[in-house]
Amino acid sequence: MAPFLVIIGWILSAQNLYMRCVIQTDSRRNNEMVQQSQLSLREMAYAEKSKYLNVECNAGNKPRALIAGCTLCDFIVYVDTDAVWTGISGVFDATSNLINSSQVSILAGIDYPETMKVTRSEHKSGFYPGLFNNGILALRCTKITRDILEQWRWLLERLHEDQRALQEMAEPQSVFHANIKYDFMTLGVYSKYIHHFPGAYKNQFKYTRHSKFMAPRQTIRCPTL
């Protein structure tokens, strides 16, 4: 009986490798920061027993990258190429617990105070209505999530700014208000799992090797929708 259970465990483990995916895009120039970010996130993917997918979409096509990812994965952690793994494992368990307990479809993280200050000052102009950063996202690929991604893609093509478009969709009057949330420790700029260096903070970018093991890189094309 024991060998049978071991085999079942292997099968479930193999399935889990495919269900969980770390996704990045070719959204920036292939410079040293991008290369180091990709190496670091491949380390994280290996530690998390997940797939590492690089989707050939640019920065303006983040929803398309996630739509493509949801054709292969059940649960995704998306990370911009200006971020690195901290060496602490557990981001999939932490984010899935938050998503399952609050019935959220897309989970983001809080932004830096300086950025939030600018955001609040720009509320009159209405450019950034929310306080979260979408450079690190977690999502479960359910039907409602796919609906959100499709409407995010549609709105992005008209607003031309992915973070603004997603923040608009999280506003109280939006039908998706309950499905898009952010937290403060798991994702975002204060994540315990991923160091993110957005915008003016890129000069602080630093890559530290945490493991000699890396998940294989799998590249998929950006979908044409």
**pLDDT tens digits in sequence order for the chain, 225 residues long:** 455 543 444 444 444 444 899 999 976 677 899 999 999 999 999 999 999 999 999 866 899 999 999 999 999 999 999 999 999 999 999 999 999 888 899 999 988 877 666 655 654 555 556 778 899 999 999 999 999 999 999 999 998 889 889 999 999 999 999 999 999 999 999 999 999 998 778 889 999 999 889 999 999 999 887
Could you say which DSSP state residue 14 is in? H
The residue behind tokens 């292997």 is 10
Per the CB < 8 A criterion, the answer to whether 106 and 137 are in contact is yes
The per-residue pLDDT for 163 is 87
Question: What's the token pair of residue 46?
Answer: 């290996």
Give the contacts of 86 (CB within 8 A, at least 6 positions apart). 191, 192, 193, 194, 195, 210
Neighbours of 2 (CB within 10 A): 6
Supply the pTM of this predicted model.
0.87
Residue 77 β-bridge partners = 22, 138
Q: Rounded to an integer, what distance in angstroms lies between the CA atom of residue 207 and that of residue 137? A: 20
Residue 41 vs residues 53, 108, 149, 172: alpha-carbon distances, Å:
10, 17, 23, 33
CA atoms within 13 A on the CB side of 148: 28
**Is 102 strand, coil or helix?**
helix
The per-residue pLDDT for 117 is 65
Of residues 64, 47, 112, 13, the one with CA closest to residue 224: 64
The per-residue pLDDT for 27 is 64
Q: Which domains does the chain have, with CATH numbers?
A: 17-221 (3.90.550.10)
